[in-house]
Structure 1
């Protein structure tokens, strides 16, 4: 548990999965990235889905939802998912029910971030958190629902369309406040509407990077994923967020890092940045 002023922060697991290392590290040669993230015989590396639960006296906010429970057995096997739904299990372990979550902020709408936003109940898809307002970037929603393969091919509509149908969807823009003390930052880069999330209170803060910085190994400015739609933008915004976090001694959340889910960042004169546990 981390205290950020009035906010109690818990890192909760949305699941773990296996992913191709070449996709995770993009143009970085395997001879380099495997020294920090070894792959198995199929070139797969283990990744986490680190979500954030932020609680105050007034609000219970969940940032990202992991893989959820809707994937078919074949899809679960292909992604190396373990049985069960760890997000709901971990929330229950913290004494939090789905009904108590009042806001769900989604960094973007890829399955490993928004899959748990909805659930299949008695054959129908409905929101997992019935009392929550779901916060999605306006550009992200437009791209995900565009019907254009170039923009919407990476999304699974069952993860998010029911949120609009239930009236729980809230579309936001850059620097919009979700609740007092929690703000979204449209970063672009990974997707055009990708957003990071800033939690601040009493001079302290935490930044949920989403897939702008999927693991602590991506602290290197040029290390980005092959999925990034705008590679230059990812590199630019990484520097902005890392500089901001370092200058203010804010923690950052590495949402796919199995070993280092959260850290601080320090500026280094020769190596750009360092991860400070």
Structure 2
């Protein structure tokens, strides 16, 4: 548990999966990245889906939802998913039911971040968190629902279309406040509508990076995923966010890092940025 002013912050698991390391590290040669995260014989590495539960006296906010429960056994096998649906288990351990979540902020709409946003019961899709308002970047929604393969080919409509049908969708823009103390920042880069989430209260803060910084190994300037639609933008905004976190001594969440889900960042004279665990 982390206290950020009047917000209690808990890291909850949206799942774990196996992922191709070459995709995770993009142009970085294997001879370099394998020194920090060794892969198995199939070039796969284990990754987390670290989500954030932020609670104040009046609000219960979930950031990202992991893989959810809708994937078929074959899809689960192909992604190397670990068993079960840990998000609901972790929430239950904290004494939180799906009905108690007021807002769900989605960094973007890829399956490993929004898959748990909806559930299927008796063949019918519905929001997993029935009382929540789901917060999605306007550009992200436009691209994901465009029907153009170049823009929407990486999305699964069942993860998010039911949110609009249920009247639970809130589209937001850059620097929009979701609730007092929690703000979204449209970063672009990974997707055009990708957004980070900033929690600030009483002089302290926490920054949810989403896939701008998927693991703490991505602290390096040129380490980005091959999924990034705008690689230059990812590099630019990563530096901006890292500088901001370091200068304010804010914690950051590395959403796919199993070993270091949360850290601080320091400025470094030679490496530019350094992870403080």
TM-score range normalised by the length of the shorter chain: over 0.9
Map of 2:227 onto structure 1: 227
Map of 2:248 onto structure 1: 248
State the shift of 1:82 in Å.
1.7
State the shift of 1:83 in Å.
1.7
State the shift of 1:86 in Å.
0.2
Q: CA offsets per residue over residues 17-65 of structure 1, 9 Å max, x none?
A: 0000000000000000000010000000000000000000010000000
**Secondary structure of the structure 1 residue equivalent to 2:74:** helix
Name structure 1 gaps, 5 residues minimum: none
Map of 1:132 onto structure 2: 132
Map of 2:185 onto structure 1: 185
Name structure 2 gaps, 5 residues minimum: none
Residue 146 in structure 1 maps to residue 146 in structure 2: yes
Alignment RMSD: 0.3
State the shift of 1:122 in Å.
1.2
* Partner Cα separation in structure 2 for residue 258 and residue 25 of structure 1: 16
* Partner Cα separation in structure 1 for residue 83 and residue 190 of structure 2: 29
TM-score (norm 1): 1.00
Residue 204 in structure 1 maps to residue 219 in structure 2: no
* Partner Cα separation in structure 2 for residue 58 and residue 260 of structure 1: 29
**Secondary structure of the structure 2 residue equivalent to 1:229:** coil
Map of 2:114 onto structure 1: 114
Give 4+ residue runs of structure 1 displaced > 3 Å after superposition.
none
Map of 1:105 onto structure 2: 105
What pairs with 1:250-269 in structure 2 (closer than 5 Å)?
250-269=250-269
* Partner Cα separation in structure 1 for residue 198 and residue 83 of structure 2: 32
* Partner Cα separation in structure 2 for residue 151 and residue 45 of structure 1: 27
* Partner Cα separation in structure 2 for residue 169 and residue 28 of structure 1: 38
* Partner Cα separation in structure 2 for residue 37 and residue 144 of structure 1: 31
Map of 1:56 onto structure 2: 56
* Partner Cα separation in structure 2 for residue 9 and residue 121 of structure 1: 30
**Secondary structure of the structure 2 residue equivalent to 1:40:** coil
Q: CA offsets per residue over residues 199-233 of structure 1, 9 Å max, x none?
A: 00000000000000000000001100000000000
What pairs with 1:39-50 in structure 2 (closer than 5 Å)?
39-50=39-50
Count of residues in Structure 1 that have an aligned counterpart in Structure 2 = 277
State the shift of 1:163 in Å.
0.1
* Partner Cα separation in structure 1 for residue 142 and residue 254 of structure 2: 26
State the shift of 1:262 in Å.
0.2
**Secondary structure of the structure 1 residue equivalent to 2:191:** coil
